[in-house]
């Protein structure tokens, strides 16, 4: 078995036993990237020199017998909206094409302390606005299972890199499903922790009340390992929850017996393709076999989640993206006067989807419309959260498909924003309710394309969620999945 085919846990074990060195690991992954990247295009920046330097430094410390951290020598890909000091962070936008942050995001600091090696920055939908990674200002990323199809979005580059074994671990961000939906499309594990569990300091903001950073990995054990490193309280983030990090040992115990599982009726009904519905329902039998109980549950306000999200998220985006005006950093297009300079900079710097959402949000926040749109959306958000709270009085875990459809072809939905937005119909409610959720492969559809199963838990019940996912993965004979590139 080649090094790039190993899991993060296996790499960790081999380093501990001195069977492989950090330099050998990085060399293997850089060779893999060189061979596969022209097909996949998962990375905006491949940090070859930095990664080799980090590997050499780590090797010296290992030889001295120093404690180098729980992720020592393991490469990780970082979504390109997470700040990395002196490493380009573009958000896949022309307006930040040459932006080099002067500091590391908190999650990046934690990864470096744990010994992880940053191998590159991954492609994404511009400013995380999209469900296909076609909205990148640079190029689309392709799905490792079918190069004519999208990898999902907005963390499509991170998901494709992990699925294609161009990195064993990756970070993404999830505002309405941007970790879970690409994980589903690429046949891997994608985890959005509870809002506030992982620091957002250094994450370029899209919608601040919804954004959350999380892991993308080939398997649940690696997901747990990465979450353990980044799931920590951070005083630099005012929304960070002052709670202890869940125990690594407890999270690594597979347990699904006696779990009360609710199947969300509204997320198996209209709009969910037959193959997806059947694939997920076939997969949930593994929970029954392990001693869990299954029952249908209704969350009646979920039908309002999509319009609610597309008022709240663009409104927050309109506010957050006002800072990109050509004055302090990023692209500047000179023009006759300050106002024309603002207009030219934003026109040339932002792509069509970002402009669309800024306009939607500005309209919803404008005088005379705030109460009718934004305030009403916040009230609906409360009703959606109340539905989940009631369901969790009876159930430990809720289950649904991750995406209503399998991966679609590049160009198929790009000209129809509403169809594109519908691709996140199963994931958006979880962000509105600030819950933890995980996508894990349910198998393949008749075309050989991945289907994702979404598991949802109570706020800050990541341990229950991850233990159940680990039990399911161990019971499923075909996991983890692997594309035949």
Closest by CA position to 392, among listed 456, 466, 462:
456
Helix-helix angle 220-230:8-16, to 10 degrees? 70
Tell me, rounded to whole angstroms, the distance of Cα 18 from its chain centroid: 32
Catalytic residue ranges: 79, 154, 178
Distance CA 385, CA 180 (A): 19
Distance CA 365, CA 370 (A): 5
pLDDT of res. 417: 85
| 58 lies in some domain | yes
Exposed, middle or buried, 245 (CB in 10 Å: 0-12/13-18/19+)?
middle
| 463 lies in some domain | yes
Name residues whose C-beta falls within 8 Å of residue 158's C-beta, 6 or more positions apart in sequence: 42, 77, 78, 79, 122, 124, 170, 171, 172, 179, 182, 216
pLDDT of res. 484: 83
Closest by CA position to 203, among listed 237, 227, 235:
237
By the 8 A CB rule, do 457 and 436 touch? yes
Closest by CA position to 79, among listed 235, 244, 228, 192:
192
Average pLDDT, consecutive stretches of 10 residues, N- to C-terminus, the chain (485 residues): 94 93 96 97 97 94 88 97 97 97 98 98 98 97 98 98 98 98 98 98 97 98 98 98 96 96 96 96 96 97 96 96 91 91 94 96 91 95 98 98 97 89 95 98 96 98 98 92 86
Distance CA 331, CA 278 (A): 48
Distance CA 471, CA 463 (A): 12
Positive or negative, the Cα torsion across 87, 93, 97, 100?
negative
Distance CA 136, CA 129 (A): 9
Distance CA 404, CA 420 (A): 11
| 256 lies in some domain | yes
| 380 lies in some domain | no
- How many other CB atoms are there within 10 angstroms of residue 299's CB atom? 23
CATH number of the CATH domain containing 229: 3.90.1300.10
| 132 lies in some domain | yes
Tokens of 276: 């997806």
pLDDT of res. 296: 98
Helix %, strand %, coil % of the chain (to 5):
40, 15, 45
Q: What total of structural domains would you count in the chain?
A: 1
Q: Please spell the DSSP secondary structure of 241-297, one letter per residue.
A: ---PPPPHHHHTS---TT-EEEEEGGGSSTTS-HHHHHHHHHHTHHHHHTT-EEEEE
Tell me, rounded to whole angstroms, the distance of Cα 155 from its chain centroid: 5
Indicate the pTM of the whole model: 0.96
| 415 lies in some domain | yes
By the 8 A CB rule, do 405 and 187 touch? no
| Domain coverage including residue 467 | 3-298+390-475
Q: 3-state DSSP call for residue 231? A: coil
- How many other CB atoms are there within 10 angstroms of residue 300's CB atom? 12
| 423 lies in some domain | yes
pLDDT of res. 27: 97
| 311 lies in some domain | no
Distance CA 37, CA 40 (A): 5
Tokens of 39: 């097909």
pLDDT of res. 67: 86
């Amino acid at each position: 078995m080649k090094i790039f085919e190993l899991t993060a846990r296996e790499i960790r074990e081999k380093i501990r036993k001195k069977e492989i060195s950090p330099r050998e690991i990085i060399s293997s992954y850089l060779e893999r990237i060189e061979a596969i990247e022209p097909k996949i295009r998962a990375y905006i920046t491949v940090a070859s020199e930095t990664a080799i330097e980090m590997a050499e430094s780590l090797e010296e410390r290992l030889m001295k017998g120093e404690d180098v951290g729980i992720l020592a020598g393991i490469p990780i890909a970082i979504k390109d909206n997470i700040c990395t000091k002196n490493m380009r962070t573009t958000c896949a936008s022309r307006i930040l094409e040459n932006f080099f942050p002067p500091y590391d995001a908190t999650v990046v600091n934690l990864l470096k302390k744990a010994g992880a090696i940053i191998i590159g920055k991954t492609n994404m939908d511009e400013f995380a606005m999209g469900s296909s990674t076609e909205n990148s200002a640079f190029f689309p990323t392709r799905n490792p299972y079918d190069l004519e199809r999208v990898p999902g979005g907005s963390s499509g580059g991170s998901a494709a890199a992990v699925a294609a074994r161009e990195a064993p671990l990756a970070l993404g961000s999830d505002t309405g499903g941007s970790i879970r939906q690409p994980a589903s499309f690429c046949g891997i594990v994608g985890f959005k922790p509870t809002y506030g569990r992982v620091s957002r300091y250094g994450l370029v903001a899209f919608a601040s009340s919804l954004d959350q950073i999380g892991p993308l990995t080939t398997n649940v054990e690696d997901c747990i390992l990465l979450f353990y490193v980044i799931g920590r309280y951070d005083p630099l983030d005012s929304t960070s929850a002052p709670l202890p990090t869940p125990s690594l040992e407890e999270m690594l115990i597979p347990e699904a017996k006696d779990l009360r599982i609710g199947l969300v009726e509204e997320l198996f009904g209209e709009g969910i393709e037959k193959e997806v519905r059947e694939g997920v329902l076939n997969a949930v039998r593994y929970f029954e076999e392990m001693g869990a109980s299954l029952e249908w549950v209704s969350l009646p306000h979920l039908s309002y989640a999509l319009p609610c999200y597309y008022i709240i998220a663009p409104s927050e985006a309109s506010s957050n993206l006002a800072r990109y005006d050509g004055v302090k950093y990023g692209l500047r297009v000179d023009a006759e006067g300050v106002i024309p300079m603002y207009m030219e900079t934003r026109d040339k710097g932002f792509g069509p989807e970002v402009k669309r959402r800024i306009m939607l949000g500005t309209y919803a926040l404008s005088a005379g419309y705030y109460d009718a749109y934004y305030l009403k959306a916040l009230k609906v958000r409360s009703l959606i959260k109340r539905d989940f709270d009631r369901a969790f009085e009876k159930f430990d875990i809720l289950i649904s498909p991750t995406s209503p459809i399998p991966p679609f072809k590049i160009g198929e939905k790009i000209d129809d924003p509403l169809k594109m937005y519908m691709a996140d119909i199963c994931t958006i409610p979880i962000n509105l309710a600030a819950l933890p959720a995980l996508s894990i492969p349910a198998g393949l559809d008749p075309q050989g394309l991945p289907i994702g199963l979404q598991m949802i838990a109570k706020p800050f019940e990541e341990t229950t969620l991850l233990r159940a996912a680990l039990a399911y993965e161990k019971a499923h004979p075909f996991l983890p999945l692997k594309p035949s590139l």
